[in-house]
Amino acid sequence: MERTTDLIDVAKLLKKEGLVSDGVNKGSISLRLNKTEIAVSPSKLSYEELNENNINIMNIDGSAISQPSPISRDTYFHLKIYQERSDVNAIIHTHSKYALALALANKEIPFVIYGMKQHCGGKVDIAPFYFPNTPECNEAIIRYLGNRNAVLLRNHGLVCVGKTLKDCYETAVFVESLAESYVHALQLGAVEDIEKWKEVNYG
């Protein structure tokens, strides 16, 4: 299993690559440490400040094991995903620029390029808006994520999941790059959903 230090490294990489920034655009990141314990980034701290002494450790049922820092309100949808998806060991939530643009416009990303199969597991749905840290928000994320690896949250941002932090990070990078291309493509004209192309061999 990956460790808290791996979470910190990926969090700082997200900041370096511009997928998150400080303040309202920081998002959240978490890691399954074992079957029952989750490490999750805190609220009110820059990713550059993260270290092993300020990461919150939670039981999967939501009770705190170690809480040296304020708990992010995102923590509870992270826990809900871990409870519902035993295959998920890492979660990254961002407000990255182009993914957020689609979330604000209430536009999902159809299955428009074949690479979405590997990184996303198919199209990227958009979940309806509910205020964070509510049962309705948590349930909507689970429903629209399904068995895939990414979901947009209307008027909020992007959630990616993975079997490893590396997989999860690569999906977050992929979706943001795809979202940028998709936003530009929509300005040029219609974009075809390749799921409609029956001759495609999905393998």
Q: What's the pLDDT score for residue 23?
A: 62
pLDDT (0 to 100) of residue 198: 58
Which pLDDT score, from 0 to 100, does residue 25 have? 58
Q: Which residues pair with 92 in a beta bridge?
A: 29, 160
Is pLDDT at 200 greater than 60 in this prediction?
Answer: no
With beta carbons less than 8 A apart as the criterion, state whether 38 and 17 touch: no
Q: Calculate mean pLDDT across residues 158-184.
A: 98
Is the Cβ–Cβ distance between 30 and 7 less than 8 Å? yes
Q: Give the pLDDT score at 38.
A: 97
Judged against a pLDDT cut of 90, whether residue 62 lies above it is answered with yes
Instruction: Count Cβ atoms below 10 Å from residue 68 Cβ, excluding itself.
Output: 13
Query: Which residues face 32 on adjacent strands?
Result: 38
Contacts of 111 by beta carbon, 8 Å cutoff, 6+ apart: 117, 122, 123, 193, 194, 195
CA distance readout (Å), 50 to 6, 25, 169: 11, 16, 17
Identify the band that residue 195 occupies on the pLDDT scale cut at 50, 70 and 90.
confident
- Residue 140 has a pLDDT of 98
pLDDT of residue 44: 86
User: How many angstroms separate the CA atoms of 30 and 36, rounded?
Assistant: 13
Helix axes 135-145, 75-84, angle to 10 degrees: 50
Residue range 4-196 forms a domain whose CATH class is alpha beta
pTM of this structure:
0.94
> Rounded to an integer, what distance in angstroms lies between the CA atom of residue 70 and that of residue 28?
13
**What DSSP state is assigned to residue 87?**
T
Kindly report, residue by residue over 73-90, the tens digit of the pLDDT. Answer: 999 999 999 999 999 999
Percent of the chain with pLDDT over 70: 95
Token pair for 120: 């996303």
Domain boundaries, given as residue ranges, for the chain: 4-196
Q: Identify whether the C-beta of residue 96 lies closer than 8 Å to the C-beta of residue 124.
A: no
Q: Tell me: pLDDT of 156 over 80.
A: yes
Q: Whats the size of the chain, residue-wise?
A: 203
Confidence class of residue 201 from pLDDT cuts 50, 70 and 90? low
Q: Which residue has the tokens 């990616």?
A: 160
Mind listing the pLDDT tens digit for each residue in 72-131? 999 999 999 999 999 999 999 999 999 999 999 999 999 999 999 999 999 999 999 999
